[in-house]
Amino acid sequence: MSDGQALHWVDNIRYLGVFTSCSTKFSCSFDSAKRSFYRSSNAIFGKVGRAASEEVVLHLVKTKCLPILLYALEACPTNRTLDRSLEFPFTRISMKIFRTRCNDTVTDLQSIVDLIKKRKLSFLLKFVSSPNSICQLFVSVALCETKLPKTQ
């Protein structure tokens, strides 16, 4: 109860656009991000259609829709299953753009897993080098837990 109102038990809660899932460990749900990615990429495809080249449509999807799919992923724990789950929507849209049903045709495109790794690395490097005292506290706690040498 809060202010006399019953609190509802939910499986996911949204905070700053990130859906945190009910779990024993911290985890995030990206179902909403995948829906939004499909919605935005289909809107682009619906407006531009076949009037533009495949390269132009792909560039629009990468610059306008991919950030929707990868939003706040740097701060969320990931695993191989989640990586594949996030790779699938981009692969499907790429197959639609290039009018193919063959997965091998679009595998030459930049992998979502590689983008996730780059974004996480960039985030962690900024986090570690931040002068913010709270960030430094988290870094020192993490270093103590992992017993890694402290870097300045």
| DSSP letter for each residue of 81-132 | HHHHHHHHHHHHHHHHHTT---GGGGTTSPPHHHHHHHHHHHHHHHHHT---
- Residue range 92-121: average pLDDT? 80
Predicted confidence (pLDDT) at residue 46 exceeds the cutoff of 80:
yes
Instruction: Express each pLDDT in 135-144 by its tens digit.
Output: 888 888 777 7
Distance, in Å, from the CA atom of 76 to the CA atom of 117, rounded to the nearest integer, reads 12
Sheet strand arrangement including 18-21: 12-15, 18-21, 28-29
Per the model's pLDDT, the better-predicted residue between 67 and 112 turns out to be 67
Q: 51, 66, 151, 47: which is closest to 112 by C-alpha?
A: 66
pLDDT of residue 128: 85
